[in-house]
Amino acid sequence: MRHHIFFQILAVCLLCGLYLVSPATGAGASGAVSASASSESAMKNTSPMPPLSEREADVILRKGTEAPYSGRYTDNKAAGTYVCRQCGAALYSSKDKFESGCGWPSFDTELPGAVRRLPDADGRRVEIVCAACNGHLGHVFEGEGFTDKNTRHCVNSLSMAFYPAGSPEEAQALAQRKQGASAGTANVAGGCFWGVEDAFRRMPGVTDVVSGYTGGHVPNPSYEDVCRGDTGHAEAVRVTFDPAVVSYEQILRRFFEIHDPTQLDRQGPDVGDQYRSAVFFLDAGQEAVASKLVNRLRELGYDVVTRLEQAGPFYAAEAYHQRFAERTGRGRCHMSVPRFDTPAKGGR
């Protein structure tokens, strides 16, 4: 029975024409089975996670697939926790890993809330992504009978890092997961991120704000890259908030009042796609809230051009951009306008 299933899986992989990332060559290649434990430990000790290699970006950002049996974690039997290679969020426990014979690491469940399921572009399979950053992990299959849970998460090794049980890295990842479980996140873009960050830092219930780049196709962009206007990224902020104090809807209401959502690809003197107005929603619930507020503003007569985009990888901006207005007194240009209480000229 298991042999029969294995050949079925292999046939599906061949028929679907999966985009395979060729195995790494050379001792220094990321994801190579021969990578030393010491170098891997040094990499994981960096926070935030180190920049993605080109092969990792092919899988995580461009949804490629590593060749079967080429990943470092396919046969890993050590106890510990698997985390997202891109953002460091805890994804899977080694307790849920099993041998499926498919050539990729297999798990029969994820840590609660760590993974999101999406329809695959091929129209047949179900893609799985990191719930924290939307990085591509692989695919999920059901009904194969490998374990009692009857589910197989087929995950690329290149999409993960592994923290041994009891290690400081594992403890930190699990602690961050516990902390994050009670926090909310909102990703928005409204022009120069200095002012947007500063405005949100002053909002009760907001616990952290990070300026960064998102919405584009270039991994690990620099400020200079984004300023060129050809990366697709917007200057954005990631807002972390306490849902017991402030709701996601209140966060977005604040967002629509501290920038002009009627300006297309600009805010004041800052012109370009990187200065667009956008809400990067993490799930259907956030999308619904954003859509409701956009429709309400349009009812009030505002010609809103804010884009509602599925959240993708968020890249923190350089250190000198963080808390810029607070440190320098400059960049506080996002003044609050009570748009939800004041109809636009000609509005109802």
Supply the residues annotated as catalytic. 154, 192
Q: Which distant-in-sequence residues (6+ apart) come within 8 Å of 54 by Cβ?
A: none
Backbone angles phi, psi at 322, to 5 degrees: -75, 135
CA 78 to chain centroid: 27
CA dist 207 and 209 (Å) reads 7
Angle at which helices 284-299 and 248-258 cross, to 10°: 40
CA dist 156 and 134 (Å) reads 14
Query: Of 246, 253, 311, which is closest to residue 279 (Cα–Cα)?
Result: 311
Judge whether 248 and 184 are in contact, CB under 8 Å. yes
The 97-98 sheet, strands edge to edge: 97-98, 106-107, 151-155, 136-142, 126-130, 115-119
Q: Which distant-in-sequence residues (6+ apart) come within 8 Å of 124 by Cβ?
A: 16
SS3 category, 136 = strand
Which ranges constitute the DSSP H helices of the chain?
2-16, 37-44, 54-60, 168-181, 193-201, 223-228, 248-258, 284-299, 324-328
Judge whether 273 and 235 are in contact, CB under 8 Å. no
Q: Which two tokens stand for residue 131?
A: 């719930």
Judge whether 68 and 117 are in contact, CB under 8 Å. no
Judge whether 18 and 62 are in contact, CB under 8 Å. no
Query: Of 145, 149, 200, which is closest to residue 5 (Cα–Cα)?
Result: 145
CA dist 234 and 212 (Å) reads 8
